[in-house]
Structure 1
């Protein structure tokens, strides 16, 4: 086969990417070096985005002694390390909203008008009129509440503590395990439970 064959003319040699990079790279910035600066090295703190151009051997030498915090005060280094834990994103402490600690927790509040007027914040006095009328509404007892109090043997102005105490006393007295199979006592037991449940829903205890 002749060296001038048409097949040799069609052969393409892949160019060396490293040779092309060296040819296009600027001169190494290391003092006295004549090699191509094919590798980047960061300039340092407060000059982010700026780089030196070194050859392979000198970029390794530069990286061995590189210190991003060189000359930085200890307080700034500590702050940087603390912020690095959250990726330098802003964070807030739990319950940083000062008004949040005074907001009502409705999951622990009882239902009914008595619980509402006593426990809800009103910093702008939007419900001052309703709150002023609340005591009068609490004193007035509805017919079903009056009947429930009568079932428990209590007066209309009985407090929540008195209602709970009376309920516990009657339950112990008329519980099926202690009434000896008395049907009348079982019926009384059901009435006491229904009366107490109604008073709880009304916010009386």
Structure 2
């Protein structure tokens, strides 16, 4: 069963005592700081009743003592983000490996925690899909754009029904050749 939340945010459950404002005899159930916190800790606080904590909060002004320029800067989208941040720690592990040395990200992660570098992946100017497309066309990785166009033209003439006497049994092969050429003609290796 879900628990009911308090109607008042900040109410101290089980607080005993009366309001810290002189002359008030209502129960002190809400924390209020004695002075603004200096970010070295939570600071000192006192317990107030609901009415007096509302008065206390109404008097609070974050921008008190700031110039108009400082207020504008604090209200901007980058207010508070200009501070330097700490570098991420390695958590006791070796520094992160170069992701480009691995074909599988899981190998890179495991290599980081094994304290050794995995063997770098074989460098190729073609992606895995592009190498598969080269295989469909019967070309090697040393091919250039001219050889790609020539091989594509040969295979289209060979498998197209209009060019091979109406034989439609090779249409699926023709589709694979067209798809492979479409992928390869936009490859970065030919740019």
Identify whether the pair has TM-score above 0.5, normalized to the shorter chain.
Answer: no
* TM-score normalised by structure 2 residue count: 0.35
Using the size of structure 1 for normalisation, the TM-score is: 0.34
